[in-house]
C-alpha cells in the first residue's frame, strides 16, 4: 500500500501496549520499566519504519526518547475544496486512564455478580423485579456516572480547541467535507440486545437459527438456561461449549443497557460531547472515521446536542429517522484486516448474526450497519457532492485464497434546503475495477476481470468508477486496528487539482491566518516557500511539543 499510494497514519494502542494512556497502559507492568520511555521508543520506531512526515518544531531539534513531548501528531490534510481530513492523537497526549472503571472487565464482573445469587435467581426468567435486577441496574448507574466525568479526557482541551479552529477554517474556505480521522468509534454504540435480536431474527425468518435449534429464541434460552433448569452443557457457533454465566452477562448488558467498552469514546462521554461540539457545530458536512474495534460500523449522529448524552439518541427519543431529526454527522469505522473483534474473542460461541442485529436494535435510528464476524477494510471515495463508503470483507487467515466481497455500501449527500443536514443512504454494492484488488495480472489472486465473482463485478477500461483527469477523486483504504489511511488521487494528483490551497480560494488569507495560529509550533508544508508546487496541503497540529529525536 505504501508503494502505491500516499498514506496518512496515526498510531492507536498496539503500537505501544494494549489500552495505553498518558502515564501507563493496561498491558504495561512496573517491572517492564518506565512507560514514557517505552512510549517514546514506540513512537520513534513508528516514524523510523513508516514513511511519515514527522512533526518538527520551528528551529528546535532537541529532545530524546525518554520524553513524551513528541506525542502530539494531530494534523490537517486538505484535498482542494473537496475534503479536509483532521487527524487526532487520542492515546498519549491527553488521555486519562481507560482501565480504571469501577467494574473492570464489565462482562467478567457481571458474570461474577450474577454468580453470587442463588441459581433460582440467576435464571433470566426470574430477573424482572428481583434483587439481581436491582444490582445490575446499580452497576449500570455507577458506570454511567463514571464515564460521564467531566475530568476524563481522550483528546484534551488544547487538541479539541485546535480541531474546532481547523474545522471552522476549512468550512469557511468552502471545503465541502470536514472529516475527523481518529482511532475509535464515536457514534452511539450501546451493548447488543440479544434478546430483542432473537425475536427480530425469528420474525424476519431469513437467517436460519443455529444448528440444533428450531428458533433463535430457543437457542438463546438454552444458552442462558433461561428457566434455571441447571442444564450446563449447551453448544453454540461451531460446536463450541456455551458457559451459561457468560451468556447471561451478554444478555444483561443489552437488556439493561450497560456500557462495556471504556477504551473508546463511550468511556469518555463528556469528552465525546466536546468532540461533537467542535466538529458538528463548525463543519459544512461532518464525517467521522475510526477503527480500533476490529469490526465494521456505519451510522449517523444527530445534530441536536440533546442526543449527545451518556445514553445517546435513545434517551433523547431518537428511535428512528423521523424522531432522530437533523443528521449532524455520519460515521464509518473500519474492520481489521485479520485480528478478531472483542465479541469473537469473548463470545466465540455466539453467532455474529445475533450480535450484529442486537447492536442495531440497541442503537435505533443511529447505527445503520454492524458486522462483527468478518475482517476486511473500508474504501472511501469523495467528491464535492457525495461521500461514499464501501465495506470490503476478506477470507479468514485460515484461507489461502483471496476473494474479497462487498459487504455494504453507503452514500452520504447533503439534504436539500437550507441547513437541512445530511442524508445517509444504503445502496447496492457497485462494481470495482479489478486492479484495486489484484494488481496487474498477478497469478496469486483471483482474476476479477473474467466475471462478477463475489459480487465485486468485472472491470473495464470504461468503468465509470475510475475517475478521469477532469474529476477529483480521493480514494481511501483504512486498515484495521491501528487505523491506517491511504489516499490515492489518480491522475488529478498529477494535475494539482487534489489539495492545492489555491483551489479553495482565499488561499493567501488562509495561509496568514493558519501561520498565526501555528506560531511557535510545528512547521508544515506551508512554512516551506520552496514547496509552492505541492499537490496537497498538510498542516501539522499545534498541540504538544517536539517528537523524541532519533
Among the listed residues 424, 481, 423, 401, the one whose alpha carbon sits nearest the alpha carbon of residue 184: 481
* Distance between CA atoms of residues 301 and 281, nearest Å: 12
Rounded distance between C-alpha atoms, residue 122 and residue 141, angstroms: 20
Domains of the chain with bracketed CATH = 7-96+151-190+260-335+374-540 (3.60.21)
| CA-based max dimension of the chain | 77
Residue-wise pLDDT tens digits, 151-164: 999 999 999 999 99
Q: H/E element holding 414?
A: strand 405-414
Please choose, from the candidates 396, 407, 187, 381, the residue with its C-alpha nearest in 3D space to the C-alpha of residue 296.
407
Least confident of 322-326, 397-401, 522-526: 522-526
| Dist CA 448 CA 431 (whole Å) | 11
Average pLDDT, the chain: 80
User: Grid coordinates representing 319?
Assistant: 428511535
pLDDT band at 56 (very low <50, low <70, confident <90, very high): low
- Which of these ranges, 60-69, 234-243, 428-437, 458-467, has the smallest mean pLDDT? 458-467
SS3 for 222?
helix
pLDDT value, residue 287: 98
Q: What is the pLDDT of residues 221-253, one digit of tens each?
A: 999 999 998 876 688 888 889 999 999 999 999
CA distance 57 to 363: 44
- 341 and 334 in contact (C-beta within 8 Å)? no
- Cell match 494531530: residue? 74
**Mean pLDDT for the stretch of residues 322-337:** 94
Model confidence band, residue 438 (pLDDT cutoffs 50, 70, 90): low
Range with lowest mean pLDDT among 59-68, 251-260, 273-282: 59-68
**3-state SS class at 298:** strand
What residues form DSSP beta bridges with 328?
none
When pLDDT is averaged across residues 39-65 and rounded to a whole number, the result is: 70
Q: According to the model, what pLDDT value does residue 417 have?
A: 79
Whether 495 has a pLDDT exceeding 50, the answer reads no
From 150-164, 172-186, 211-225, 393-407, the region with the lowest mean pLDDT: 393-407
**382, containing H or E segment:** strand 375-382
CB under 8 Å to 535, separation ≥6 — which residues? Answer: 489, 493, 494, 496, 498, 499, 500
pLDDT for 475 equals 39
For 299, phi then psi, to 5°, come to: 180, -165
Q: pLDDT category, 436, cuts 50, 70, 90?
A: low
Q: What is the pLDDT of residue 538?
A: 61
* Cα distance between residue 72 and residue 92, in whole Å: 8
Secondary structure (DSSP) of 83-110:
EEEEE---SSSS---TT--TTSSHHHHH
Q: Is residue 112 classed as helix, strand or coil in its secondary structure?
A: helix
Q: What is the DSSP letter of 445?
A: S
| 487: pLDDT strictly greater than 50 | no
Amino acid at each position: 500500500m505504501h508503494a502505491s499510494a500516499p498514506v496518512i497514519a496515526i498510531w492507536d494502542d498496539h503500537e505501544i501496549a494494549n489500552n495505553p494512556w498518558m502515564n501507563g497502559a493496561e498491558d504495561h507492568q512496573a517491572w517492564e520499566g518506565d512507560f514514557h520511555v517505552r512510549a517514546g521508543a514506540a513512537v520513534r520506531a513508528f516514524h523510523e519504519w513508516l514513511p511519515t512526515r514527522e512533526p518538527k518544531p520551528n528551529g528546535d531539534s532537541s529532545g530524546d526518547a525518554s520524553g513524551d513531548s513528541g506525542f502530539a501528531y494531530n494534523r490537517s490534510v486538505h484535498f482542494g475544496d473537496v475534503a479536509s481530513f483532521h487527524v487526532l492523537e487520542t492515546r498519549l497526549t491527553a488521555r486519562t486512564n481507560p482501565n480504571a472503571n469501577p467494574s473492570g472487565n464489565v462482562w467478567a464482573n457481571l458474570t461474577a455478580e450474577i454468580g453470587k445469587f442463588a441459581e433460582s435467581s440467576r435464571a433470566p426468567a426470574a430477573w424482572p423485579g428481583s434483587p439481581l435486577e436491582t444490582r445490575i441496574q446499580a452497576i449500570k448507574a455507577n458506570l454511567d456516572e463514571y464515564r460521564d466525568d467531566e475530568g476524563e479526557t481522550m483528546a484534551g482541551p488544547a487538541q479539541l480547541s485546535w480541531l474546532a479552529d481547523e474545522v471552522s477554517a476549512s468550512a469557511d474556505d468552502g471545503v465541502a467535507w470536514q472529516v475527523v480521522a481518529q482511532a475509535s468509534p464515536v457514534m452511539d454504540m450501546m451493548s447488543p440486545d440479544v434478546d430483542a435480536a432473537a425475536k427480530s431474527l425469528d420474525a424476519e425468518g431469513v437467517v436460519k437459527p443455529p444448528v440444533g435449534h428450531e428458533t433463535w429464541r430457543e437457542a438463546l434460552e438454552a444458552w442462558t438456561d433461561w428457566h434455571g433448569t441447571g442444564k450446563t452443557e449447551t453448544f453454540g457457533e461451531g460446536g463450541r461449549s456455551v458457559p451459561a454465566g457468560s451468556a447471561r452477562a451478554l444478555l444483561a448488558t443489552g437488556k439493561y443497557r450497560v456500557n462495556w467498552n471504556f477504551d473508546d469514546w463511550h468511556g469518555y462521554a463528556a469528552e465525546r460531547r466536546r468532540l461533537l461540539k467542535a466538529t458538528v457545530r463548525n463543519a459544512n458536512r461532518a464525517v467521522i472515521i475510526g477503527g480500533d474495534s476490529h469490526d465494521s460500523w456505519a451510522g449517523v449522529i444527530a445534530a441536536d446536542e440533546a442526543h449527545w448524552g451518556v445514553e445517546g439518541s435513545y434517551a433523547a427519543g431518537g428511535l428512528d429517522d423521523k424522531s432522530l431529526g437533523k443528521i449532524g454527522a455520519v460515521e464509518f469505522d473500519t474492520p481489521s484486516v485479520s485480528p478478531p473483534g472483542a465479541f469473537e474473542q469473548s463470545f466465540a460461541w455466539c453467532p455474529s448474526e445475533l450480535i450484529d442485529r442486537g447492536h442495531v436494535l440497541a442503537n435505533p435510528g443511529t447505527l445503520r450497519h454492524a458486522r462483527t464476524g468478518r475482517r476486511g477494510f473500508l474504501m472511501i471515495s469523495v467528491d464535492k457532492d457525495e461521500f461514499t463508503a464501501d465495506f470490503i470483507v476478506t477470507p479468514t487467515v485460515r484461507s489461502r485464497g483471496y476473494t474479497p466481497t462487498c459487504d455494504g455500501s453507503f452514500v452520504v449527500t447533503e439534504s436539500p434546503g437550507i441547513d437541512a443536514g445530511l442524508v445517509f443512504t444504503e445502496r447496492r454494492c457497485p462494481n470495482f475495477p479489478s486492479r484495486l484488488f489484484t494488481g496487474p495480472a498477478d497469478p496469486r489472486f483471483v482474476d476479477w476481470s473474467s466475471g462478477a465473482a463475489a459480487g465485486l463485478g468485472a472491470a473495464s477500461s470504461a468503468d465509470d468508477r475510475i475517475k478521469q483527469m477532469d474529476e477529483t477523486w480521493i480514494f481511501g483504504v483504512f486498515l484495521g486496528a491501528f487505523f491506517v489511511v491511504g489516499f490515492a488521487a489518480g491522475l488529478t494528483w498529477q494535475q494539482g487539482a487534489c489539495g492545492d490551497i489555491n483551489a479553495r480560494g482565499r488561499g493567501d488569507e488562509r495561509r496568514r491566518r493558519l501561520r498565526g495560529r501555528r506560531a511557535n509550533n510545528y512547521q508544515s508544508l506551508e512554512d516551506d516557500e520552496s514547496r509552492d508546487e505541492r499537490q496537497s496541503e498538510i498542516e501539522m497540529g499545534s498541540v504538544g511539543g517536539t517528537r523524541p529525536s532519533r
